[in-house]
Amino acid sequence: MPVANYKTYCTMLDRARENHFAYPAINVTSLVTANAVLQGLAESRSDGIIQVSTGGGAFASGYSVKDMALGAISIAEHVHRVADRYSIYVALHTDHCQADVLDTYVNPLIEETERRRAAGKPNLFNSHMFDGSALSLKENLDIAVPLLERCHKNEIVLEVECGVVGGEEEGAGGEGASTEKLYTTPEDMLEVARRLNTVKGARYLVAATFGNVHGVYKPGHVKLKPSILKDGQEALEKAYGKDALFYLVFHGGSGSSLDEIRETLGYGVVKMNIDTDTQYAFTRPIADHMLKHYDGVLKVDGEVGNKKMYDPRVYLKLAEASMAERVKEAAEDLRSVGTTLFKA
Ligand SMILES: [Zn+2]
């Protein structure tokens, strides 16, 4: 199927919230990793989300170019071209974009979509994230409101973040975050709704924080409190009615237990970001290949090595397959298996 259009993407999100499942949103940085996600989703009969971070975009543009928007466009165009070989819908999203890189990342990407729409072509990305969590909530929303207006005009969904996700991810959250800021309060969520709902009919997603961290830690390090999400949703429903319930995004979920993941699905999480776990799944078979075929991938003791071992396709194929398997596991965890809206 082609990349989901706005209407299909909105239906995907609605169905997930209604039926208590979520879409895997997997970070990719290359054609190989994008293809792995498409394969994993297709084999799960699950729709899903492919996303590109600022660092991923810069990487994809080429090491000497380092243009984050250009790299994201390249990956998105690849996905637009190959997606209709798979019997599922995929949505394209960009991950964490802080205020200081809006003009080099999200804004040029929206401009690209505006150009495409003017030429009668489909949108490039379905959604973008603005991460104003390093700012005060007021400053965060002062930027988010006009951005949401622009997104809405172009049939783009906006993801915002309130609170700070701990841990490490290039440029995102982490260090210095106070413990309280790791937990979004119901008051924060009410304020987000009050401001963003002024943009009538616009669609947005909210990354609220409930002790989640980027990266991966040994068990016991992370104290997730999914009930934070429940409390926030209850406050929203009380203040604004059932329709005001948020569509939530789970960031920093790598290493979470299945029970914790499943609990969040009951509270309106419709998208779970996965990066660290799929990175590991990709690299694991490459490590295996290199260690097992040491004297094939290297020219040892005056020998010539083995082209069948050092051709990058040989081990990247293994990596792609392993990452696709991890995507399938994510679809199981998030109960999205078999839920595709695509009808053959
Ligand atoms: Zn994140």
10-residue averages of pLDDT along the chain (344 residues): 93 97 98 98 98 98 98 98 97 98 98 98 98 94 98 98 70 50 88 97 95 74 85 97 95 87 96 96 98 96 95 98 98 98 89
Write phi, then psi, for 106 (nearest 5 degrees): -65, -45
Q: Clarify whether 277 is annotated catalytic.
A: no
Closest listed residue to residue 94, CA positions, set 123, 121, 56: 56
CA of 306 to the centre of ligand 1 (A): 41
Residue 250 is predicted with a pLDDT of 95
Residue 175 is predicted with a pLDDT of 47
Q: Are 24 and 330 in contact (CB under 8 A)?
A: yes
* Annotated catalytic residue within 47, 95, 131, 188: 95
DSSP string, 54-107: HHHHHHHT-TTT--HHHHHHHHHHHHHHHGGGSSS-EEEEE---BGGGTTTTHH
Residue 92 is predicted with a pLDDT of 98
Residue 177 is predicted with a pLDDT of 45
CA of 50 to the centre of ligand 1 (A): 14
Residue 213 is predicted with a pLDDT of 81
Closest listed residue to residue 125, CA positions, set 138, 112, 135, 144: 112
How many CA atoms are closer than 13 Å to the CA of 217, on its beta-carbon side? 15
Residue 212 is predicted with a pLDDT of 84
Number of CB atoms found within 10 A of residue 280's CB: 15
CA of 254 to the centre of ligand 1 (A): 11
Residue 40 is predicted with a pLDDT of 98
CA of 238 to the centre of ligand 1 (A): 28
DSSP string, 199-240: STT--EEEEE-BS-EES---TTS----THHHHHHHHHHHHHH
Residue 211 is predicted with a pLDDT of 84
